Amino acid sequence: MSKRIKVLIALGLMFLGFLFYPQINEDADSNCAALEKRALRVMSTSADESLVMIFLKGLSNGAVSADAAKEAYPHVPPALGCAIGYFFGGFQFDEES
């Protein structure tokens, strides 16, 4: 195999890892659902309303994150926008914010 093919394969595997890691890490059906689970987990550790957060976890399906991803990154598919938000905190879900 040539060096270019190896580099392309490595870049493809890294992209797939970037794209599918949030779903696997959060045990979610989509990147947007994983982003919502992460946000709820961060909020539940810092809030006293843990019962409300437990209820919201059952309702989380990724629709809110998908809408936020469409607004933040209008030229990117929502699944990719949610992956960007998951890794880089693009929607301000980090504890520091």
Domain boundaries, the chain: 3-88
Rounded mean pLDDT, 71-87 = 90
Cα–Cα distance for residue pair 97/55, rounded to 1 Å: 24
First to last CA, the chain: 47
Task: Please write the tens of the pLDDT for every residue from 8-33.
Answer: 999 999 999 998 999 999 888 999 99
Q: Which whole-number Å values give the CA distances from 24 to 2, 31, 33, 68, 71, in the listed order? A: 32, 9, 11, 21, 25
Regarding predicted confidence, which is higher, 27 or 58?
27
Q: pTM of the full predicted structure?
A: 0.74
Cα–Cα distance for residue pair 8/52, rounded to 1 Å: 46
